[in-house]
Amino acid sequence: MIKHFSLSLLLVVGLAAPVYSAPVKTENITDLSNVDKSDPFGLVRVVADRLFRRIAREQEQIQLDPEVLRGVVAEQLAPTINHKFAAAKVLGPYYRQTTKEQREEFYEAFRSYLIATYAGILTLYKDQQVIFEPSTPVTGKRVQVKVRVLDEGRPDIPISFVLRKNKQGEWAAYDMVAQGISVLNSKTQELQGLIRQQGIESVTQFLLEKAAKPIVTKDLG
């Protein structure tokens, strides 16, 4: 079950992996300043392309030192994730029981934890291919971008990226659903239980300790 969930999360966090048979393009794929965040469907496609082209470009360094992926995720993926909104959802009923300072520390710890988690899972990257479902009309502040992961010899895996629009009209992802499982809901159930038992400061420290562990290459076996 753990291995299966890890693979699903790999495919989710990757935002979609194109096949790299063509030469790597020469534009600055580390620069997200020119990415259009007003279109959630286009945002997912562009971030996916740049993330995986960079991983392909730096694969030699990554093989020598998986910690390189921490920087890649921080630069290529983290800026398009609304970690504060996701962390606030995790706090749920405990949000109003905490101070602003406690929440800010929790948000940053949650961000570091996400970056480390995604970096570790991305060591599993094996050129999986993803088909994007057609764009749909967007109404409201929430949208799901649906894709299908092509896993050779197995049924396609349906995945949805859940994005939210902020007051500036920019979209950012805050949840991912793989095979009907919400990553945010799973983390909420786990961390809310710990907050209830140990308090937010203890859980913040727990996340920081998890985030500080070295990135190591995973193996599905």
CA-closest candidate to residue 218, choices 149, 121, 78: 121
CB 130 within 8 A of CB 48: yes
Put residue 142 in one of left, alpha, beta given phi > 0 → left and psi -120 to 50 → alpha: beta
Q: Which residues pair with 176 in a beta bridge?
A: 161
CA-closest candidate to residue 103, choices 117, 85, 121: 85
Residue ranges in the chain assigned as alpha helix (H): 2-13, 40-57, 59-64, 68-76, 83-91, 100-122, 183-198, 200-212
For tokens 């396609």, name the residue. 156
The helix (run of H) or strand (run of E) holding residue 145 is strand 142-150
pLDDT at position 28? 62
pLDDT at position 83? 95
Least confidently predicted of 64-68, 85-89, 117-121, 211-215: 117-121
Q: How far is CA 106 from the centre of its chain?
A: 18
| pLDDT digits 0-9 by tens, 7-59 | 445 444 443 333 333 333 445 656 666 788 999 999 998 888 888 888 888 98
- The average confidence (pLDDT) of the chain is 83
| pLDDT digits 0-9 by tens, 56-112 | 889 899 999 999 999 999 999 899 999 999 999 999 999 999 999 999 999 999 999
Least confidently predicted of 76-80, 93-97, 163-167, 174-178: 174-178
CATH architecture of 2-17+36-212: Roll (3.10)
How far apart, in whole angstroms, are the C-alpha atoms of residue 44 and residue 81?
11
CA-closest candidate to residue 40, choices 180, 159, 149, 138: 138
Q: What are the extents of the domains in the chain? A: 2-17+36-212
